[in-house]
């Protein structure tokens, strides 16, 4: 079995920290080596979780968009009409693969639609809009927690 990417990056980080950085004469170079090491640990963690994070985020946003379509009526004009079109595009959109670039393509589009949807809900004085707004906040929390980055050793 070949070594996993995460294991390789963590091993390189340890080498950088214990062998390369201490041999660097200049303080600046040693600190830059430490930063590079920290980035390697981030990359190792991300290698393991990157696809899962994006699939989960896209799924959570898709559920919100489907729910929003029940309230933002068909044939609507102006902002509501434009938003409905975007929501319809979003729920029909499918990730073509699990490649990070493909997951990001959908994720970035979804994030833009989510911004428009929340902006719309904030301007609506109706129970469904307040409920949807609450769901969006829960989704944002999930996204922020899912993307926590921990410094090595924490």
Partner 1 sequence: MLREISEKLALYLSRHFQEAEVSALERVHGGASRETYRFRLRFREKGEGVAGGARRERRLILRRQPVGSLIETEARAEYAAYQIFQKSDVPVPEVLFLEEAGGILERPFFIMEEVSGCESASPFVSDPYGGARERIGRRFWEILGKISADEARALRFAERMPSPKREECWRRELDYWEGVIDEDEVEPNPIVRAAIRRLRREPPPPPERIALVHGDYRTGNFLFNAAGEICAILDWEMAHLGDPLEDVAWALDALWAFDDAARPGGMIPTDEALAIWREVSGIGVKGGALRWWRIFAAVKGVAIWTSSAKEFGEGANRDPVLALSGWYTLARHNRILLSLLDGGGEVSGVA
Q: How many residues bind partner 1 (CB under 8 A)?
A: 31
Region near partner 1 per CB under 8 A, out of 4-12, 29-37, 78-86, 91-99: 29-37
* 114 lines the binding site for partner 1 (CB under 8 A): yes
Span of 8-16, 35-43, 73-81, 86-94 interacting with partner 1 by CB under 8 A? 35-43
Shortest distance, position 121 Cβ to partner 1, whole Å: 11
DSSP for 76-140, please give it.
Answer: --HHHHHHHHHHHHHHH---S-S-HHHHHHHHHHHHHHHHHHHHHHHT--SHHHHHHHHHHHHHH
Does residue 35 touch partner 1 according to CB under 8 A? Answer: yes
Task: Give CA–CA dist 30/20, Å, rounded.
Answer: 8
- Residue 136 in the binding site for partner 1 (CB under 8 A): yes
Residue 27 contacts partner 1 per CB under 8 A: yes
Q: What burial letters (b/e) apply to 116-149, b meaning 16+ CB within 10 Å?
A: ebbebbeeeeeeebeebeebbeebeeebeeeeee
112 binds partner 1 (CB under 8 A): yes
Q: How far apart are CA 43 and CA 49, in angstroms?
A: 10
Is 122 one of the binding residues for partner 1 (CB under 8 A)?
yes
Q: Which window, 5-13, 76-84, 90-98, 100-108, contacts partner 1 (CB under 8 A)?
A: 100-108
Residue among 68 and 136 whose Cβ is closer to partner 1? 136
Residues 6+ apart with CB under 8 A from 121: 129, 130, 132, 133, 136
Residues that bind partner 1 (CB under 8 A): 26-28, 31-32, 35-36, 38-39, 42, 104, 107-108, 111-112, 114-115, 118-119, 122, 136-137, 140-141, 143-145, 147-149, 151
């Amino acid at each position: 079995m070949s070594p996993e990417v995460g294991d390789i990056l963590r091993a390189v980080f340890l080498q950088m920290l214990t062998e390369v950085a201490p041999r660097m004469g200049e303080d600046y170079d040693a600190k830059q080596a430490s930063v590079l090491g920290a980035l390697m640990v981030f990359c190792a963690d991300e290698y393991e979780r990157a696809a899962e994070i994006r699939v989960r985020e896209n799924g959570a946003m898709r559920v919100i968009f489907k729910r929003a379509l029940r309230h933002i009526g068909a044939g609507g004009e102006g902002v509501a009409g434009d938003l409905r079109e975007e929501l319809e595009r979003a729920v029909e959109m499918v990730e073509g693969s699990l490649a990070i670039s493909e997951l990001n393509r959908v994720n970035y589009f979804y994030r833009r639609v989510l911004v428009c949807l929340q902006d719309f809900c904030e301007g609506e004085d109706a129970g469904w809009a307040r409920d949807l707004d609450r769901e969006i906040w829960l989704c944002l929390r999930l996204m922020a927690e899912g993307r926590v980055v921990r410094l090595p050793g924490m």
